[in-house]
Structure 1
Amino acid sequence: MMIRSLLLLVFIQLSFRLYAQHGPVVFHSSNKALEAAFNWAQQTALSYQGRPGDPVGPWYESALPPRSAFCMRDVSHQCIGGEILGLAAANKNMLTLFAKNISAEKDWCSYWEMNKHGVPAPEDYRNDKEFWYNLNANFDILNACWRMYLWTGDKSYINDPVFRRFHDKSVQEYIHTWVLQADSLLARPAYPNAPQPFNEQDAFHRCRGLPSYSEGVPHLKMGVDLVAALYRGLETYASILAANGQAKEAATYRHKAEQYRRHIEDTWWDASAERYNTHITRDGAFGKGEGETFLLWFDALQDSTRARHTVEHLVSNDWNVENQSYFPVVLSRYGYYDQALRYILHLADTGTERREYPEVSFGVVEGVIQGLMGIDADAQHQRVSTLFNGPAADTLTAANIPLLAGHITVCEYKNGATLEHHGSKPIVWRVKFTGQHAYIKAGGRKLKTLQERDKRGKFISFADVPLQPGMVMTALVD
């Protein structure tokens, strides 16, 4: 107990010093390899910022680095890491540009990739009829906007006319134009909206509307990752409607979303292999590849047994670094914290091939803060959550994390956590601990807990603690 008390004293002194400067996040761990991994990731991710004079405005690398560009898939993945690192202006600018550039001329696609000059990257765009585009993108961006609202409290992500138009068109005209209705997924034409005359050898014809993020499957008809993206996109749209007081419309879209989730379970599960198929080709043949990662990313799996088989397959095989960059946060989301830590350390290792790909460093930052420390925000309730997911003997501290228009500092270990609130508005701290605990001690009081289960069935005990600006609170369980 004496050691823990000394750690908390150091934590409080550190947090006040950091609050005064509001610089980058400062992370400490008793696991020095983890601390080094975070420091490398933060320094590397911040090095990808654009220059102040770039015509596009604030941005950061979220594509192949030589292109000086940002891509819809990568930004959707990197945006929480970007918020943690203080890159809110870049997130807002890039997401706004993607939303603004949706158009009927492009069949309600946006620009898959834009560069620092503020134009569609020529590597992926020739004109409005000839360009590269992965159909998952609209739903990934839609979900990213919702997550940005929850993390920051910035309602423009769900209410601004530019974003509302993007969300509306994506779940209506876009689905219709690209024949993505739940009952059409396996019967749709291979190349809807193809340029005429059609040249299958031209990637800007053949890939104008790829039905997957997996780009190496010949004669692809549909990817399970796109079905998962549709599910998450419609679920997210329902949440946006509900947040704007449209409960009836929200229920309609949740019903539509459920049709896609059921389609995954009824059509794509291979019982003999105990794995999901990941794609189907034009000849009707199912196959397996890298799309399983996105079943987890889009949180499309509710069957715990099938989710376990999916995770076990992913962690027992070798994948490209883009896929692996998702693992720290998605494995944490599904309760595989030991594996999440393993991938954090692997991705940051100097021997990891292509670790300079921008998603890697941003993925490590998100995996540490949202994954191992369980820090999350919910602007709907002005609430911050924490849940220690590190090794039992570890202590994790992160100071100066920006969220909900303020900053917090968090120190946590297996049976204790302290949060300091640097913001202008009150927040609710939902403090969580693994296991069944009847009470949480906080502020000199014993708070009766509520219980929930994580995706692996483990009990989580939690209580809500109101915090005024400037307050420091410590919570403990026996």
Structure 2
Amino acid sequence: MISPAAPAEPKVTSSDPEVVAMFDWARKKANSWVQLPGTTGPINVDEYQTGGTGTAPYAPTYWAGYANRSAYYSRDMTHQLAGAHLIGLDTENETMLRSYAASATAEHKYFPVWSLNFDAKTYLSIDYKSPDNFVREVPTTFELVEKAAQAYLWTGDRRYVDDPVLWDFYRHATEQFIDLHNSARPNGKVKVAEGTGNGIFSGAASYNEQDGDGLAEAGDGIASEYQAYLAMAVLARGKGDTALARTYDKRAADLKAYFNDDWSGTGSGADMVRAYTLSGTPVTGWGKENSVFMPMKQIIEPGARGDAYLDYIEAQELGPEGSPNIESTMYLPDMFFKNNRDDTAWQWMKKIYGERELQHVNSSQGPNGDYPEVSFTLVSQTVEGLMGIAPDAADHRVTTQSRLPSGMKWLQAADVPVGTGTITVRHDGATRTTLTNNAHGGAYQWEARFPGVHKKIKVNGVPQRVRTKTVGGVTYTYATPTVRAGATAVVQVAD
């Protein structure tokens, strides 16, 4: 049974009616995929077992994957997690992450299972046959670690750093898992987790299931491993282990350097390496997910080579080799936002939203809009993407950056849940941002960023000393006012 109401209802208003309609549709649609905890429902439902194999009481969960299966999928769930938080599904996120963590056993060589039924216990039978015969793909192990850190940053929930099941999973995923899947190709002083090259039921290197066989290492795997190391540093600091955090920061830096200096080759655009076969042969050209994830996970060093690869990806996606599957194109707004190509990201959001009534490539799925990931990601791409909101709830900090596309004069996201309260943020173009702390207690240190070097900056109308910083190859002018509970602050730059 579907849950009847959303626990949180952020609201979007704007000079552009399309983004308002898109967000309203996405928020309501995403909420329609939430299960009502305690309800008894079928398990192991799929296109071959339409009645399932039995029933079980459902846990706090939501659909993430095909709507004709009684399950949530790790790949989908990790991409839906931020959107789920934004509509108040923190209990569901923690339940689902923990269920995957518990499944990543020594017997499974620390791979999490691919899908679980809504009871959060039973592995979906279509994807799981035995401990050595189940669907598994390298990137998802690392994405689960990355998204646990993302959930922690949004909520400040101590369970993400104190729960032993979760913590053991993080450590296994970034230690033993890599050691157990790292024999086909040497990587010098760093380690790169590998697939078997024998298909998804024995461990695929990439999310690209159409072009994944025969690959030992793939761009989406190594890029996700990089983000998992950064996530471990965040989680370790949350736990109070600064030495461990420094260890993982160094591993991330070493892996990124290795990727740029060695793994990715010397070519640019179509000639950049995006995978290696079991025999060690480098693979270039268009790899869909194993191409897209490299800039999306920001493992490519900022600069001309990274820009050329973004151009190459866009040309491929818009050409005859573009993915017909919306499951792949949903990553594109995230990729372009993370690389400050705001107009392009917005164009892809509009394309995805505009194709919501088209038939999904899997005919039994129904229209694209009934694929749960579509609505959840449009929610997060509005708040994290267009609004550029990045919280650290445990440390009472929030960063903003306007990513409004050309022609969108202003955009506001109200009642955005951060920690135990909410904030409201409004961008007027790229030069003025307003933040309201709606909480009843507690202050936030707000870092308001504006791309470029500006001559003037004001906080609540008062001129401040101009400060700049460079993040990801981009220079920002910024201010860091403290915003008390119930207060509003305005930061504006000018030249």
TM-score category, normalised to shorter length: 0.7 to 0.9
Deviations 1:323-356 (A, max 9, x none): 2211222211110000011011111004655332
Task: Identify the match of residue 267 of structure 1 among 255, 263, 276.
Answer: 263
Structure 1 equivalent of residue 418 of structure 2: 403
* SS of residue paired to 1:258: helix
Structure 2 equivalent of residue 378 of structure 1: 392
Structure 2 equivalent of residue 107 of structure 1: 109
Contact map agreement 1:228 1:260 (CA 8 A) in 2? no
**Is 1:236 aligned with 2:231?**
yes
Q: 1:121 to 1:431 in 2, by over 3 A?
A: same
**Aligned partners of 1:188 and 1:154: how far apart in 2?**
29
Q: 1:400 to 1:179 in 2, by over 3 A?
A: same
- For structure 1, list consecutive stretches of 5 or more residues without a partner in the other structure: 1-20, 193-199
Map 1:337-356 to 2 at 5 A: 337-350=342-355, 354=360, 355-356=368-369
Structure 1 equivalent of residue 93 of structure 2: 91
* SS of residue paired to 1:269: coil
Q: CA deviation at 1:132?
A: 0.9
**Aligned partners of 1:296 and 1:64: how far apart in 2?**
27
**Is 1:210 aligned with 2:204?**
yes
* SS of residue paired to 1:477: strand
Contact map agreement 2:181 2:194 (CA 8 A) in 1? no
Q: 1:39 to 1:456 in 2, by over 3 A?
A: farther
Deviations 1:102-153 (A, max 9, x none): 2111111222111214311112101222211112222111111111111111
Structure 1 equivalent of residue 24 of structure 2: 39
Structure 2 equivalent of residue 421 of structure 1: 437
TM-score normalised to structure 1 length: 0.86
* Counterpart AA for 2:313: L
Q: 1:227 to 1:426 in 2, by over 3 A?
A: same
Contact map agreement 2:268 2:305 (CA 8 A) in 1? no
**Aligned partners of 2:444 and 2:350: how far apart in 1?**
33
TM-score normalised to structure 2 length: 0.83
**Aligned partners of 1:335 and 1:418: how far apart in 2?**
21
Deviations 1:354-384 (A, max 9, x none): 3322222222111111111111102353111
Q: 1:456 to 1:359 in 2, by over 3 A?
A: farther
* SS of residue paired to 2:480: strand
Contact map agreement 1:443 1:474 (CA 8 A) in 2? yes
- Aligned-residue identity in percent: 25
Map 1:63-142 to 2 at 5 A: 63-118=65-120, 119-142=122-145
- For structure 2, list consecutive stretches of 5 or more residues without a partner in the other structure: 1-5, 41-56, 361-367
Structure 2 equivalent of residue 279 of structure 1: 275
Contact map agreement 1:186 1:221 (CA 8 A) in 2? no
**Is 1:301 aligned with 2:300?**
yes
**Aligned partners of 2:102 and 2:192: how far apart in 1?**
31
**Aligned partners of 1:188 and 1:91: how far apart in 2?**
26
* SS of residue paired to 1:28: strand
CA RMSD for the aligned pairs?
2.6
Deviations 1:284-329 (A, max 9, x none): 4333311111112322112422211121112222233122211222
More off after superposition, 395-404 vs 313-322: 313-322
**Aligned partners of 1:35 and 1:156: how far apart in 2?**
34
* SS of residue paired to 2:247: helix
**Aligned partners of 2:110 and 2:193: how far apart in 1?**
18
Deviations 1:48-82 (A, max 9, x none): 11233152411111112211311112111111111
Contact map agreement 2:459 2:490 (CA 8 A) in 1? yes
**Aligned partners of 2:326 and 2:265: how far apart in 1?**
25
Q: CA deviation at 1:98?
A: 1.0
More off after superposition, 446-455 vs 59-68: 446-455
**Aligned partners of 1:348 and 1:376: how far apart in 2?**
24
Task: Identify the match of residue 151 of structure 1 among 150, 154, 162.
Answer: 154
**Is 1:442 aligned with 2:459?**
yes
Q: 1:41 to 1:184 in 2, by over 3 A?
A: same
**Aligned partners of 2:257 and 2:11: how far apart in 1?**
43
